[in-house]
Structure 1
Amino acid sequence: MNVKPAAADGSVARPAAQDSPRSTHRWFALGILALAEFLVVLDASIVNIALPEVGTQLGMDTVALAWVITAYVLPFGGLLLLGGRLADRYGHRRLFLLGVLGFVAASMLAGLSVSSGMLLAARALQGASAALLAPAALALVTQLFPSAADRTKALSLWGAVAGIGSAAGVLLGGVLTAAIGWQAVFFVNVPVGVVVLALIPALVTRDRASTPSRLDYPGAATITGALVAMVGALSAVEQVGFAHPITIGLGAAAIVLALAFVLIERRSSNPLVPLSVFRNRNLASGNLAMLLVGGAMVALFFALSVYMQAVLHYDALAAGLTQLPLAGALVIVAGVTPGIVRRIGLKATLMGSLFVLAGGLVWLAASPSDADFVVDILGPSILIGIGLGAAFVTATQLAVDDVDGGEAGLAGGLINTSQQIGGALGLAILASVATARTGALEATGAASADALTGGFSWLFLGAAGFALLGSIAALRARTTR
């Protein structure tokens, strides 16, 4: 990517070149950065199984409990692009540490919550802090590993972390809630965050001073508002439906603000997101693929959790343990993906992984209401893990690999935004499809378990469609190895 923001005086603002490595222990530093990213992804799903206990203790009904999830996703998805640009301007390490500090403080407040208002405020602070640390962390990874071979290995680990965090959320949420209580799903972040805060300053050097560019405040305000309105509209679909005035109003606001953002960016001398970045075919293809993979993945884990408990009658802990084969396959494949990329190229690996993911989802859609885990679910779970592991690695690498250091934060913000918005979009669409199918089957007199299974079957098929659309998006990418 060759487009760089202009400073107030017309000069180009970009970080000064590093004449020494950002870290002499870069693989250790990568592990600590990945640990922080793991917490960010984990917190989007770990609270799901704890919600019934939260509702009982804090007196929250079903609608209020849905906001425990939404209060995290709204600021996270809405502030990611701004967070990436702030990291580019003020320093990636500085913004990363600030984000981790806020995340730890918010997690402590969430665990100590004695009212629904306190919990929701803490969750919003968690989301805003995650929007600071996530793009800054990915930017640091790309700077720690400038060579193509090492960066591929590093991004393989990064992609695996993103997938494992979502899968592990269900497992850890069940274990911690059953053993300690719902507060533990928040308190677990605190010691891990403290370790990150203690080690990163010793492992990663400070960003070199650079000429600061003027921040595009109108662009930041409109894109943040558009993303928040979009995520809010998608969350409202799940709670009140497509035709509700809240959904329609938020959707219209998102469209108007997005159009205003495009106009502002075209006229700005120092845009928040230079629209020319999307001429980079790999960045555009990687983000579109991640949008669709995120949509398929979030809907998948939501449906699996409900299917295991409501249809197959597994308890919370057992439902979590069923995710282990999927997570294990994801980890193994993420480790071997760099070798595959070297042999057949990044584009071919991404497309192949999405076909594998789609195949696993179609297989899972055939599971009956009395499914046996080993016979009906284990096989497709492993196939899905293989597809997700390779897809996350290659989509992330495609989106950030050809980006200048001065725009690394922006690229990190874009790929994280794609994943979050895709997840909200996929869950809203596919959950609505599943609900409609379940209602239609119940109207014909089908048993509750059979009706739920039929709805989830359509959801899994829809997720497979998302994966196939992602493979089409990857066609536009340049072939790289």
Structure 2
Amino acid sequence: MVLVRLPKNVLALAAVCLTSLMFGLEISSVPTVLSTIEHVLNADFNQMQWIMNAYTLACTTVLMATGALADHFGRKRIYLASIVLFGLTSLGCGLAQSAPVLIASRFLQGIAGGAMLICQVAVLSHQFPEGRERSKAFGAWGIIFGIGLGFGPIIGGLIVAVANWQWVFLVHSPVAIVALALVLAGVQESRDPNAQHLDAPGILTLSASCFGLVYFITQGSDLGYASPTAFGLIAATVLSFIAFIFVEKRSPRPMFDFSVFQIRSFSGALFGSIGMNFSYWPFMIYLPIYFQGALGYTSVSAGLSLLAYTVPTLIVPPVAERLALRFEARRVIPLGMFTIGLGFLLLMFGAGAEHASWLTMLPGCLLCGTGLGLTNTPVTNTAMGSVSPNRAGMASGIDMSGRLISLAVNIALMGLILLEGVHAYLIGALSSVPETSSLRLLAAQVAGGNIVPLTQSGAEIAAIDANGVILQEALVHGFGFVMLYGALGAWAFALLSVASFYAGTRAHRRAPAVDSGVRHPSP
């Protein structure tokens, strides 16, 4: 009865915020329990990567399909289906008894999460089409998303401390029931009247190219980078992406409308979206490994330490919205990306300090979170405000695809950089040990944060590094390369965003607008 008396837009916003909370918690709480899962399920480093990658890769796979389905069949209908599936697959993750089963369940959960995320943005765009109400709605969405991301690490650590790791997943099932009630009561049905068919060739070719790239990055060392299998995989990935571009260019109603890139605000915001997930978000997967492996913190202590990295994403978005209104998003978004890069640089110095601790990591963590908070909400609001409401599904699909493709690829790339950095250090520090596959297995063990059971690494290594000092230094060395990569990537996308915003302005003045069903905002 209470739900009936509340305005529909209030209920719709509550539904969007609750599902964004679930999505945010699922991203940030899982990394802090990976070490527990690794021990309980006897998972190796590759499997740990896939527990995270399966989720993001599945999200990426369904993003554009969901946008097209939502535009065609109705956003409320697809939203409801995605929430039901998310609740069921979260239950499946919590009941998993082995790493392969958990990976498969995470993939299905990612399908539901990606669909749910697209619908959140599309619903907000339809029910809050313009003006201050739209800005407030997206601001609230960003804050609640930030709460899920910001408090996820400590929530995950506390769950492991007081219960067991399964409840990190199981908690979403009852929450999904509440979200369903809110959607049924408040969300208005909407669709794109021009969406008459589903672009199956585009969905399949984009999904295949994303999967091939991530699989090559994560499994390339096992396959052999110069092996025929690896070359075949890369060839198939490239051909799939070329085919994707070809079918989208020829489709009369493509799910991926390339003409939107001619809108300067959309392109500049998209580079910001990709840049955040090039550096900040994938590093969240590995930062708990540093706190637990290099600094020796417990899962709860690691979660508390991560609050400095995530809480600014909760506090800063309202400030970012005000700054965007006053100084324009084309200035705020690159500033946020630059701040993230500077934060990564400080993290690198903090990790390499002689007596490293959470205090030496604090400045970098705070700057990274602040930069993310400056970027996250403005890029979404700017991207969605650049197109007409009836194309919200398509636009949110492109925006979220850019984010999650970058996230999935960089989870894999950061893992590879960490592994290779650790391996290179071990080769130099343990020069008396023959370079065999066992040394690489040791590097994978260290990269996963497991530097305790040295007796399992061979008697010769245990004799050289009985206290694990070399292994700990190797982990710090590997993280230094990962942090440098994050800084350079954030700055590169800051420059691309600036170039897109301002080059787009000049192109907009010289060229006529493209008639693609999108709305060109004024400068």
In the superposition, the TM-score normalised over structure 1's length comes to 0.87
Q: CA deviation at 1:301?
A: 1.5
Give the structure 1 partner of residue 248 of structure 2. Answer: 265
Give the structure 1 partner of residue 301 of structure 2. Answer: 318
Specify which of 478, 490, 495 is matched with residue 467 of structure 1: 490
Give the structure 1 partner of residue 398 of structure 2. Answer: 414
Q: CA deviation at 1:303?
A: 3.2
8 Å Cα contact 1:143/1:405 also seen in 2: yes
Q: CA deviation at 1:389?
A: 0.5
Give the structure 1 partner of residue 501 of structure 2. Answer: 477
Q: Is the aligned partner of 1:447 residue 2:470?
A: yes
Larger radius of gyration: 2
The alignment partner of 1:314 has SS state of coil
Give the structure 1 partner of residue 13 of structure 2. Answer: 30
Q: Is the aligned partner of 1:106 residue 2:129?
A: no
Give the structure 2 partner of residue 372 of structure 1. Answer: 357
CA distance change for structure 1 residues 462 and 145 in 2, over 3 Å: closer, same or farther? same
In 1: Cα distance, 2:341 partner to 2:423 partner: 25
Specify which of 182, 199, 204 is matched with residue 187 of structure 2: 204
Structure-to-structure mapping, 1:88-237, within 5 angstroms:
88-207=71-190, 210=193, 213-237=196-220
CA distance change for structure 1 residues 192 and 288 in 2, over 3 Å: closer, same or farther? same
**Bigger mean CA offset, 270-279 vs 159-168:** 159-168
**Bigger mean CA offset, 339-348 vs 326-335:** 326-335
Cα-to-partner distance string for 1:382-409 (whole Å, 9 max, x where unaligned):
2211111011122222221111122101
In 2: Cα distance, 1:103 partner to 1:72 partner: 12
8 Å Cα contact 2:345/2:487 also seen in 1: yes
Q: What amino acid maps onto 1:261 in structure 2? A: F
Structure-to-structure mapping, 1:329-348, within 5 angstroms:
329-348=312-331
**Bigger mean CA offset, 439-448 vs 296-305:** 439-448
8 Å Cα contact 1:168/1:327 also seen in 2: yes
Q: Is the aligned partner of 1:349 residue 2:332?
A: yes
Q: Is the aligned partner of 1:392 residue 2:376?
A: yes
Q: What amino acid maps onto 2:200 in structure 1? A: Y
8 Å Cα contact 1:234/1:424 also seen in 2: no
CA distance change for structure 1 residues 232 and 432 in 2, over 3 Å: closer, same or farther? closer
In 2: Cα distance, 1:85 partner to 1:388 partner: 29
Specify which of 411, 422, 427 is matched with residue 427 of structure 1: 411
In 1: Cα distance, 2:133 partner to 2:234 partner: 42
**Bigger mean CA offset, 138-147 vs 470-479:** 470-479
Cα-to-partner distance string for 1:41-86 (whole Å, 9 max, x where unaligned):
4323433333344455445444444433233222211111111111
Q: CA deviation at 1:167?
A: 4.3
In 1: Cα distance, 2:328 partner to 2:171 partner: 39
The alignment partner of 1:322 has SS state of helix
The alignment partner of 1:302 has SS state of helix
Q: What amino acid maps onto 2:375 in structure 1? A: A
8 Å Cα contact 1:135/1:411 also seen in 2: no
The alignment partner of 1:213 has SS state of coil
Q: CA deviation at 1:241?
A: 7.0
CA distance change for structure 1 residues 411 and 184 in 2, over 3 Å: closer, same or farther? same
Q: CA deviation at 1:238?
A: 8.0
Cα-to-partner distance string for 1:339-374 (whole Å, 9 max, x where unaligned):
111221111111111222222211111012531323
Q: CA deviation at 1:211?
A: 6.1
The alignment partner of 1:44 has SS state of helix
Q: What amino acid maps onto 2:501 in structure 1? A: A
**Bigger mean CA offset, 221-230 vs 237-246:** 237-246
Q: What amino acid maps onto 1:423 in structure 2? A: L
The alignment partner of 1:353 has SS state of helix
8 Å Cα contact 1:353/1:391 also seen in 2: yes
Q: CA deviation at 1:214?
A: 2.0
**Bigger mean CA offset, 217-226 vs 194-203:** 217-226
In 2: Cα distance, 1:186 partner to 1:241 partner: 35
In 2: Cα distance, 1:148 partner to 1:326 partner: 32
Q: CA deviation at 1:247?
A: 4.9
Can you give the 5+ residue segments of structure 2 that lack an aligned partner in the other structure? 1-5, 430-468, 506-521
Q: What amino acid maps onto 1:477 in structure 2? A: F
CA distance change for structure 1 residues 417 and 38 in 2, over 3 Å: closer, same or farther? farther
CA distance change for structure 1 residues 88 and 471 in 2, over 3 Å: closer, same or farther? same
In 1: Cα distance, 2:399 partner to 2:191 partner: 25
Give the structure 1 partner of residue 444 of structure 2. Answer: none
CA distance change for structure 1 residues 49 and 208 in 2, over 3 Å: closer, same or farther? closer
Q: What amino acid maps onto 1:467 in structure 2? A: A
Cα-to-partner distance string for 1:82-106 (whole Å, 9 max, x where unaligned):
1111111111111111100001011
The alignment partner of 1:364 has SS state of helix
Aligned length: 458
Cα-to-partner distance string for 1:124-148 (whole Å, 9 max, x where unaligned):
2211112222111101111222223
In 2: Cα distance, 1:436 partner to 1:31 partner: 44
**Bigger mean CA offset, 178-187 vs 105-114:** 105-114
8 Å Cα contact 1:101/1:193 also seen in 2: yes
Q: What amino acid maps onto 2:238 in structure 1? A: I
Q: What amino acid maps onto 1:410 in structure 2? A: M
Q: What amino acid maps onto 2:329 in structure 1? A: L
Specify which of 297, 301, 306 is matched with residue 280 of structure 2: 297
Q: What amino acid maps onto 2:491 in structure 1? A: L
The alignment partner of 1:214 has SS state of coil
8 Å Cα contact 2:82/2:115 also seen in 1: yes
Q: What amino acid maps onto 1:441 in structure 2? A: Y
Q: Give me the identity figure in percent.
A: 28
In 2: Cα distance, 1:437 partner to 1:208 partner: 49
In 2: Cα distance, 1:143 partner to 1:124 partner: 29
Q: CA deviation at 1:110?
A: 1.9
Q: CA deviation at 1:157?
A: 3.4
Q: Is the aligned partner of 1:383 residue 2:406?
A: no
Q: CA deviation at 1:244?
A: 6.0
Can you give the 5+ residue segments of structure 1 that lack an aligned partner in the other structure? 1-22
RMSD: 2.6
